Amino acid sequence: MELGLSSTSDNSVQKLDPRTKLCLLIAISLIMVGGKTVGVEYILRVICAAIPFVLLLTVRHIKSALIYVMLLGLSVFCEGSVIPNISGAPNLILMILCGIISRFVPGYMMGWYTVRSTSVSEFMTAMDRMRVPYFITIPFSVMFRYFPTLGEEYRSIHDAMKMREIGQSVKNPFIYIEYVLVPIMMSTVRIADELSAASLTKGLCAGGKRTHICQISIKFYDWLLMLGSLVMIVLFFVF
Amino acid sequence: MERKFEIKDLITAGIFTALYFAVTFAVACIGFIPIVMVFMPLIGPIFTGIPLMLYFSKIKHFGMITITSVIIAILMFITGHPYPIFIFCIGAGLLTELVLKAGDYQSIRSCVLGSSTFSLWMLGMVIAFFFGFRESYLNSLVDGYGQEYVDKMSEYTPTWVFFTMIAMCIVGGLIGGLLGAKVLKKHFRKAGIV
């Protein structure tokens, strides 16, 4: 499993509370997607873009952190010095591409970090403490667990299609979608059944209060980061 | 058939919401091209209708669609859409719930209809271009994407387009639902999954 709510919790020193991560995630995606690139909001954008990089370094995902910085740097460079010098269709395409990268990639990386560094148990416990009802938390944790599987399934289907030499030869997009989507849907049904069997075994249906052994608590730097993201959101709406 | 709401239903809701969201996201990525953006409410539901129909066929209890719509609303809000997305998502979810309930969660016809009512949540994605949100949203796009892009966007989206988008959602949802029903019939009924 490459990513996804990891089943084992890592023991890095700077362990953030899931609630802090959520706070940061909301702040980053609000500011990066909707923000302007002038004045105070420019500074906010720089801070927001830096947060996922630092956090990825703390969990020692140096490769993805570097890729992230390179991608972001490239798109900022293009926006700054390439786009004003060209015009017409290439300008529009490059503009849209860079716009998407510089807006969505930081939020996406933050989400990736959140999912990657939080175990299902920690997530559930934190949500429980926030008094989020279980009929929201269970689908949510299942969902985050399922996204990476979806990618894996897609790659296997792609490989299988290549092996049988179909794929490139399919010109009709509807046929292609059918070839990809139907196997994915098949495996989705199977995985749903398997997961509910697993949850039955774990006694999720038994009712009663859920217990846990993971330690989560809001520490000093959690308060600091939460306060920071709150300040950023307030600044973002004021300006 | 048991009538109780179970953990199994929550897991089904989670998994199919993930699938639905992934397909929506893939389709939405091509929606950045200005002219495609306008037809997004038509194109989107056609593709998302296929997994949605499979999900509908798995629904046996009241409330699952509402949960899906709440989750989509939260995800969309986190990925930077304005707050009206909550109203649209949850409204569309409840409406679909009623449509499915009317068919007793069995009839294919109400599933197809439900696919079109559920697609109405996509209006929440494009609401930023219309009414009170228009000016500020377009202004915020200017320094991100440039004046040229914004001019194109505002040219394509006068207010009346919003009402055609409602129609597009419904028609797209119907096409998607019918397509989904066809796929289910062709592949899944034979395999005994539905």
pLDDT-derived band at A82 (thresholds 50, 70, 90) equals confident
pLDDT-derived band at A36 (thresholds 50, 70, 90) equals low
A54-63, A162-171, B86-95: the lowest-pLDDT one: A162-171
CB-CB neighbors (< 8 A) of B54 in chain A:
185, 188-189
**Tens of pLDDT, residues A159-185:** 998 888 776 667 777 788 888 888 999
**Tens of pLDDT, residues A216-226:** 778 888 888 88
Residue A196 has its nearest CB partner, among B11, B63, B71, at B11
Asked if A14 has any chain B CB less than 8 Å from its own CB, the reply is no
A69-73, B98-102, B104-108: the lowest-pLDDT one: B104-108
> CB count, 10 Å around CB of A170?
15
pLDDT for the residue A206: 73
**Residue A1 pLDDT greater than 50, yes or no:** no
CB-CB neighbors (< 8 A) of A140 in chain B:
14, 71
Mean pLDDT of A77-90: 75
Cβ separation B149–A104 shorter than 8 A: no
Residue ranges per domain, chain B?
7-190
pLDDT for the residue A119: 83
Across all residues in chain A, what is the average pLDDT? 81
Q: How far is A34 from chain B (nearest CA, A)?
A: 7
Cβ separation B8–A33 shorter than 8 A: no
Mean pLDDT of B181-186: 88
Highest averaged pLDDT of the listed ranges A82-86, B90-94, B107-111: B90-94
Across all residues in chain B, what is the average pLDDT? 82
pLDDT for the residue A2: 42
pLDDT for the residue A134: 82
